[in-house]
Structure 1
Amino acid sequence: MSPLSLEKVEQTAPPLVNLYKQAGVSLRKHGLQGQRAAVYLVLDRSGSMRPYYKDGTMQHLAEQVLAVSAHLDDDAVVPLVFFSTDVDGVHEISLDAYQGRVAAYHEQLGHMGRTHYEAGMDAVLDHYLASGAQAPALVVFQTDGGPTSRTAAEKWLCKAARLPLFWQFIGFGDPEHREFDFLRRLDELPVPGRRIVDNAGFFPAGTTPSALPDADLFDRLLGEFPTWLAAARAQEILP
């Protein structure tokens, strides 16, 4: 397995070239050059998320994650999990099929419900296990608030700590909003008291996430992944 070349991205997805280059800078900065990983994107479809789908913010995030995937995954196919009260849908984007896809899928999925993290997390696990993947997974999990059931989300994350998946949570909205207090606590759950390794990170992207410079987004997205990789290997979660 090897990352997709710049030439391949130039040929297949010219609009993503700059994102691909910037993602490469961040990967090298964090010592991740040569690392292989599946990349997932989990998107919140609770009712309050409607403006972010409408103004293109969600599409932009998907393109940023796809640029990371082009470095980490040999086929650069990113499974998209849409969740609200339940799993609303599972789709994918790739270098030759990504433009406008997030809004198109979103419009097909109908009613926007509540915020059940565990539904989205379980869908990722099912997909990962069914894929037969040998590489670890970087799961980018976007939301604009805390879960409907904090107990369920916390329990799921602790159980999942023995699996080769790292969960990078991204919060859309006011960074100081109390809705994100749970994610900060989730990020700090004791190790080894509650989970065998620290398998999650969190950062707020602000009220206008698409205005966050790509370099900053990539650095925050990848910052904790190397630490988890080392801990997962030490605990034999990864070879």
Structure 2
Amino acid sequence: MPLVFSSGNEPFLEEIRLDNYRGRIGQLHTQVDWGWGNVADEPWDKAEVRSSLLQNTASLGVFWLFVGFGRGKLAFHKNLNASASATFTNVAFYDASKNPGSVPGEQFYTGLIDAFATWMRS
């Protein structure tokens, strides 16, 4: 499964597999350049994200799960499906809490999988 960290000058992309998933997020998190932009609230290219990334990939069978953690508000990501006029069937948001390490593993992964399962059923 591709994993994209939206930070740095360019997105940081890695793959998570069954043979490398344990501790992988924590390991990758240390390699990400977190000094760019205001990703924690409003991206500067909202229209491009909505049209190029989300709308154009819906017909390709691509599912986007935005995972929020830490202190950011992530208003843009949380509200992508908040209105009837801006509904993306291939997008969900999961709030992993301010400290995802404190969330029990089963609860954390259930939260991730539930959104994907809902999309798969639709």
Q: TM-score higher than 0.5 here?
A: yes
What does the per-residue CA deviation read over 1:196-235, in whole Å, with 9 as the maximum and x for residues that have no partner?
x61111122222111111122112101122221132xxxx
Give a deviation string over 1:61-113, Cα, whole Å, max 9, x none: xxxxxxxxxxxxxxxxxxxxxxx3323x4444552697675267x17xx6842
Alignment of 1:107-186 (within 5 A): 112-114=35-37, 144-155=40-51, 156-174=53-71, 179-186=73-80
TM-score scaled by structure 1? Answer: 0.40
Cα contact 1:44–1:144 (8 A) shared by 2: no
Change (3 A) 1:42 1:189: farther
In structure 2, the CA distance between the partners of 1:168 and 1:103, relative to structure 1 (3 Å rule), is: closer
The structure number with the bigger radius of gyration is 1
| SS of structure 2 residue aligned to 1:169 | strand
Task: Select the residue among 81, 94, 115 that pairs with 1:187.
Answer: 81
Q: How many residues align?
A: 118
**AA of the residue aligned to 1:201:** A
Is 1:210 aligned with 2:101? yes
Q: Name the CA shift for 1:111/1:99 in 2 (closer, same or farther; >3 Å).
A: closer
* Separation in structure 2 between the aligned mates of residue 97 and residue 184 of structure 1, nearest angstrom: 26
What is the aligned partner in structure 1 of residue 89 from structure 2? 198
Q: Could you state the TM-score of these two structures normalised by the residue count of structure 2?
A: 0.71
What is the CA–CA distance in structure 2 between the aligned matches of 1:99 and 1:220, rounded to whole Å?
Answer: 18
Asked whether the 8 Å contact 2:4–2:13 carries over to 1, the reply is: no
Identical aligned residues as a percent: 21
**What value does the CA root-mean-square deviation take over the aligned residues?**
3.1
Greater helix share, structure number: 1
Q: Distance in 1 between matches of 2:109 and 2:34?
A: 31
Structure 1: gaps (5+ residues): 1-38, 46-83, 116-142, 232-239
